[in-house]
Structures are given as C-alpha cells and as structure tokens.
C-alpha cells in the first residue's frame, strides 16, 4: 500500500466495543457501545457475487436472490422493497432515487432516474407568503404538502422489464414476509424511533405503526400489516398496483383531504427516465456515475479533474495540506451546484463546461495549498443551518459481471412523517429539494437558483451519487452513500482512498471524511482532529468543526476474481455478504 503518512487506521475489535484509533494517536476517533456493536465485524469475501446494504436483513434477502439464480438487477429490486420494510427512515416505496448499472452482456453502462416529480398543481411560490418571504411553517419538509410524486416502484418495474430474470412477484416475497410478520428492532433502530417520537406521533396513522411501543422498543418487533397488503398488490399487479387502482385512490384521497397536491393523474402519468450515465476517466479508471437531476455525478467528475493536477500521495492522506486542497475543490463544486444544476428536462445543465479540462484547469490555478478563498470570493450566498442526512445506498454485483449501484430516499428521516391511511406507505418530503425562494437554502443548507425552482412535473435536484468504477473493462469497485449534502464529498473521498492511496476496502471505509459545501464557511471533520491538522487548518484560516459521522459508504471491490464487501460501521446495522454458493 502507498505511504499514508501515519494516517492509516487500526481497528480493535473486542466483545463489547469497537474502537478506532489513528496510528500515532491515543485519542479514539470513534467508539460504539455494546448496544451499537456493528452487524459486520470483518470483510466478506466471495467468488460468486456480493451484496452490501444498510441493513443486514436486506443484505441477506439480496444474497438469497443471487443464490436462487437471480442476477444483480433481481437482487436490487428485492433489496429495495425489503429496505422499505426494515429501514423505514429511508428505504421506501413512497420516495424515489437513482440507479447506475453496468451490464456485462451488453458491456454497456446504464442509469435510470426514478426521482420524485412535482405534482401538476405545484408552483414556484407555493411555500412563500403573500409578501414573497419564505413561509417558516415547515410546509416543504413536513406533512402532505411536502411530498412529490413517488418514483421507486415505477423505477424498479422498469429495471425488471429491461434486465430482470426471476418473476417479479418472487422478488417481493421477503419484503411481504417481514412486513406481515415483523422483524426485531435493533438497538440502533430503537434509538432512532425514540429520537423521532415527536415527528412520528403527529399523525395518528404514523404513530400507530411506529410509536406503538414508545418509549421502549427493546425486544419488540416492528409489524406493518397494511404495508404487507400494499406490497402484495404490487407483487400481483406490478407498476399498476401502485400507480392505479386501490392504492392510487387512497394516496390521492389522503392528499386531497389534508392539503396535499398529488392526484390520481399525477400517479397514473408518472414515468421514470432512462438517462445516459456520465462516464469519465480518472488515472486509468473509468468512472460511471449519475447525471442530472443528480448533481453528484457532475461534481464528482469535476472535482476529480481538478485533482488530477496534483500529486495527492505526496501531500499525505488527511494531512493538513490534503484537507486544505480538498476543501477548496469542494467549495468550487458546491458553488457551481447552487447555480447550474437542475432537472435536465427543464433546464440545460452545462455538464460539458463544468467538467471540461479547460474549466477545471482554471479552477486549479485559483487554488493555492497553504491558503484559502472565502466563500464570498467564489460566489455570494447565505446559509441556514438545519441538517438531515437520511437516504440509503446499496450495491450488488453478480458472478456474471453485472453491477448495480443505487441510492434512494424519502429525503429527511422518515420523510414527510405521513403514512397514507390503509396502505402503510410512508411518504417523501422531496419538495424541499427544490429552491423554494432565492437565497433560502433547503434543510441540508444547500442553495439553489432558477435551474432548480419548483415547476409542475419537474424533478428536484439531488446529491445522490451512485457510482461504479471500472478498470480494464471489469468492476474495480462501487460506491455510494446516504448523507444529504455530504454524499458528494464522501463518494469523492472513497474514490481517492482506493485509487490514489491504494487502500483496501476496510481502510477506505474507516478513513475519516471531511466536508465543505461552500456555504457555510465551515470545514467539517469526522470524529476528531489531531493537533497537527488543527494547527495547520487554523493557520490557513478555516473554521473547523468536528462532527459525528453522517455518511455510510456501501462498497464492493473486485480483484483477482474475488469480490469483497464491507458495511460501513457508521450505521451499525449495515452489512455486506457474499457467501453465495461458494
């Protein structure tokens, strides 16, 4: 492995604690008590495929599908429906997302956009007061008015039509089972349910499902019988089971009764979009990632092209100068995001310009290691500090060489807080991902402009960044993460950790991550900061903040005929498994 300048990590596993230390430091950068003992304690290996998700039950379901002869697409569909049951804070059928794929039979990359859409009755000023000021009553983040038209079921249906090999109904069997019979609530999920008691108790339907056992969920099961019935209808009727008939009528009726905008026609007319994935080269590796309305892929490519102008290894991984460089590069990318990114069906996103050699070279000329530019010098803006970091990512690779990297979400934790009566469907609050008013950031602190303003049938901008990295026409690794605004910076660092610093899967996962999103004027560093890092960054002029982890990389690597997988310890229920007929 290339020299990491004493920034490698030592993992000490005991029966009751997981503690991570930086070598050369006596300060632990992360510890998980016994109740948060991670589901995965060692890397998983396999010759026949690999699955990694944010919940061990969903991982086992994906592994089961591969073991039955299903392909990566089949497993991904089963995983997505299972996560809607066992990871309700982010997994969903009431939300949407993106999927990036590499198909070995055609030897081509693909991507599908199943992002939510603004309802037909939505309009640019729907969250503004009469005087044009932003309404602060949380209308864009909580309740019925915050939901866009869900895309998950339609997206998964399209993937199955194009690539699926097993019967559609068989891919929902496990999700239905866990919804009908329940599953044990883990200590981590227990604490999440307690923490979100107020949000999950506002609506009676939501409270009955998720807060029935409050405040002690220990040794309890989460049972969702209405959701099981909904999944059975989808299993029998496919896409139409969600977007037409009984389920669609219940969604539209609930919206009409409670001030929401989603109608029968919005549901009936929803369609996902097959989009050409963004493909670029970084140091001999092919980067395949999601294009707009995901902003992540554009800015991953942009930042990698800027960083090609530097010898990162000589700086030392997570040294002060390295953090300095990454922070400046991130600021330029996030500033561009606020102005130029939006739904390509409504706005011509200047992808080629933003990722061009000329433009990225010009940016690199403005970055001087050992100094910093203020965010105002890059572009003016304001910031409102309110953070949410829920989304979920999963990756699947099968023995035939097919690869899936998918990120989907309800937006913030438990979405809008609304469960549609009689369906068990927890709805998204994705309307907040639009620019609600000039200069007013969304809940992730991200600013936007005209490119991302609300319009009927439009898809909101996203930070989700499902990515596949190929080398010599074979899978090298996949990556992706939840984390709101921090997704893009986390995915960037996972790529750099593997390619530039030659880290293995465990090292790349455990390496602490930094984040700067242009506004606010703040550099975030996970877990802890060493004295050397702190002194250097303060001398340069950064306002630094040590933060808790808010991302969770789900990665699969492939080398010498062996798949390796590892569930990021930052979400203790995450798990990778690949013992598939080995």
391 labelled catalytic: yes
Query: Mind spelling out the 3-state secondary structure of 203-256?
Result: CHHHHHHHCCCCCCCCCCEECCHHHHHHHHHHHHHCCHHHHCHHHHHHHHHHHH
Query: Using only C-alpha atoms, what is the Rg of the chain?
Result: 22
Catalytic residue among 82, 152, 289, 391: 391
For residues 292 and 344, give the distance between their C-alpha atoms in angstroms, rounded to a whole number: 6
Number of other CB atoms surrounding residue 393 within 10 Å: 34
For 73, 82, 180, the CA distances from 59, given in Å and listed in that order, are 14, 9, 19
- In Å, how far from its chain's centre is CA 22? 27
Dihedral sign, Cα of residue 211, residue 214, residue 215, residue 217: negative
Strands 108-114 and 273-275: antiparallel
For 114, 124, 457, the CA distances from 346, given in Å and listed in that order, are 16, 13, 10
HSE-up (13 A, CA, CB side) for residue 70: 26
What is the DSSP secondary-structure string of 238-303?
A: TTHHHHSHHHHHHHHHHHHHTT----HHHHHH---EEEPPEEEEETTEEEEE--TTBSHHHHHHHH
- In angstroms, the first-to-last Cα distance of the chain is 28
HSE-up (13 A, CA, CB side) for residue 63: 23
For residues 476 and 200, give the distance between their C-alpha atoms in angstroms, rounded to a whole number: 41
Strands 403-409 and 96-103: antiparallel
For residues 347 and 150, give the distance between their C-alpha atoms in angstroms, rounded to a whole number: 21
- Residues carrying an active site annotation: 391
């Amino acid at each position: 492995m290339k020299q990491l300048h004493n920034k490698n990590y030592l993992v000490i596993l005991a029966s009751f604690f997981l503690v991570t230390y930086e070598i050369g430091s006596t300060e632990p950068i992360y510890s998980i008590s016994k109740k948060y003992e991670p589901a995965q304690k060692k890397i998983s290996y396999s010759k026949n495929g690999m699955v990694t998700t944010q919940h061990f039950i969903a991982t086992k379901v994906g592994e089961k599908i591969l073991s039955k002869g299903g392909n990566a697409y089949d497993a991904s569909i089963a995983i997505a429906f299972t996560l809607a049951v066992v990871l309700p804070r982010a997994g969903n059928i009431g939300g949407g997302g993106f999927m990036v794929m590499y198909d070995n039979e055609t030897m081509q990359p693909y991507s599908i956009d199943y992002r939510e859409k603004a309802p037909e009755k939505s309009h640019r000023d729907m969250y503004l007061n009469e005087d044009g000021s932003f309404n602060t009553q949380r209308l864009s983040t909580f309740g019925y008015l915050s939901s866009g038209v869900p895309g998950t079921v339609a997206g998964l249906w399209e993937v199955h039509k194009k690539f699926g090999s097993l019967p559609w109904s068989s891919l929902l069997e496990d999700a239905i089972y866990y919804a009908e019979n329940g599953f044990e609530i883990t200590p981590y999920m227990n604490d999440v349910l307690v923490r979100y008691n107020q949000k999950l108790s506002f609506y009676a339907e939501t409270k009955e499902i998720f807060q029935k056992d409050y405040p002690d969920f220990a040794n309890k099961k989460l049972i969702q019988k209405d959701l099981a019935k909904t999944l059975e209808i989808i299993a029998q009727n496919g896409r139409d089971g969600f977007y037409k008939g009984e389920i669609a009528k219940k969604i539209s009726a609930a919206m009409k009764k409670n001030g929401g905008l989603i109608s029968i026609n919005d549901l009936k007319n929803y369609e996902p979009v097959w989009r050409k994935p963004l493909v670029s080269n970084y140091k001999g590796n092919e980067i395949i990632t999601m294009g707009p309305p995901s902003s992540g892929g554009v800015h991953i490519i942009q930042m990698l092209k800027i960083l090609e102008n530097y010898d990162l290894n000589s700086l030392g991984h997570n040294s002060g100068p390295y953090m300095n460089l990454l922070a400046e590069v991130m600021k330029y990318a996030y500033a561009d995001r606020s102005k130029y990114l939006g739904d390509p069906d409504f706005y011509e996103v200047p992808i080629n310009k933003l990722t061009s050699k000329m433009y990225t070279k010009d940016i690199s000329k403005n970055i001087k290691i050992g100094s910093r530019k203020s965010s105002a010098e890059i572009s003016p803006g304001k910031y409102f500090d309110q953070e949410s970091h829920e989304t979920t990512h999963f990756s699947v690779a099968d023995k035939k060489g097919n690869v899936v990297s998918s990120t989907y979400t309800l937006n913030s934790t438990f979405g809008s807080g609304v469960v549609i009566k009689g369906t068990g469907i927890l709805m998204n609050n994705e309307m907040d991902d639009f620019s609600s008013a000039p200069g007013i950031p969304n809940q992730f602190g991200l600013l936007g402009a005209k490119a991302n303003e609300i319009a009927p049938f439009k898809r909101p901008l996203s930070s989700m960044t499902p990515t596949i990295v190929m080398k010599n026409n074979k899978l090298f690794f996949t990556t992706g993460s939840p984390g709101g605004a921090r997704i893009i910076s986390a995915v960037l660092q996972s790529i750099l950790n593997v390619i530039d610093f030659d880290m293995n899967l465990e090292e790349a996962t455990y390496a602490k991550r930094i984040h700067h999103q242009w506004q606010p004027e703040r550099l975030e560093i996970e877990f802890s900061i060493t004295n050397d890092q702190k002194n250097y960054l303060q001398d340069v002029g950064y306002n630094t903040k040590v933060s808790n982890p808010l991302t969770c990389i789900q990665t699969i690597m492939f080398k010498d005929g062996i798949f390796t997988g590892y569930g990021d310890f930052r979400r203790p229920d995450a798990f990778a498994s690949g013992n598939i007929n080995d």
